[in-house]
Amino acid sequence: MIVKIKYIGFAFIISLILVSCKKSQSLQEYYVDSQSSSNFIAIDIPSSFLSLKNDDATKEVKATLNSVKKINFLGFQKSEENKVEYAEEQLKVKKILKNSKYKELIRFDNENKSMQVTYLGEDNAIDEVLFFGSDTDLGFALIRVLGNKMNPSKMMALAAEINVNDKNVAIEQITSFLGSIK
């Protein structure tokens, strides 16, 4: 009888642990789940579409460019018909970014616009940078830069030297999306 009680007690404790361990959605899962919604535009940009404006860039700038592997863009264009979904989706993103694994770099908020930059990794060796910008009237965009040991200060210098292949369909889609929310 005592063995049965121990077995039932053990099974009960394991059940409680499994039920109470609620798995929160990852950013990758959010990207994948959102791609099927007509309210989103999702584009993956490989680093091969990025180049330097001139060939005489420093070795440091070239190395920084090589540390970028891919850029993911996810945009939600708000309309009168999708106000409720916009609020729900924005809350999902904010919940994901509140995870303690994301370290905040910059935050800007005013009455109807906000921007947040977070990252994964160490201060001088970042693996992922996230840009989340929203406007209560227009929608939001989530840009994810994936790389290997990216340095934030060097990334800023790279931004001035980068040239995006705008003949690419993905770049044209992003440009069209951003142009439609002005």
Of 41, 31, 68, 48, the closest CA to residue 167 belongs to 48
Per-residue confidence at 149, pLDDT binned at 50, 70, 90? confident
Q: What is the pLDDT of residues 137-147, one digit of tens each?
A: 999 999 998 88
Residue 8 lies in a domain: no
pLDDT at res. 63: 76
Residue 147 within a domain: yes
Domain total in the chain: 1
pLDDT of residue 5: 63
What pLDDT score does 62 carry? 74
Residue 5 included in any domain: no
pLDDT in tens, 84-110: 999 999 999 999 999 999 998 889 888
- Domain membership of residue 142 (yes or no) is yes
pTM here is 0.71
Q: 10 lies in a domain? A: no
Q: Average pLDDT of the chain?
A: 77
Residue 16 included in any domain: no
The parent domain of residue 81 ranges over 23-180
Interval 171-180: pLDDT, tens: 454 555 455 5
Examine residue 18 and state whether it is found in any structural domain, yes or no: no
- Tell me, yes or no, whether 125 lies in a domain: yes
Amino acid identity, position 177: F
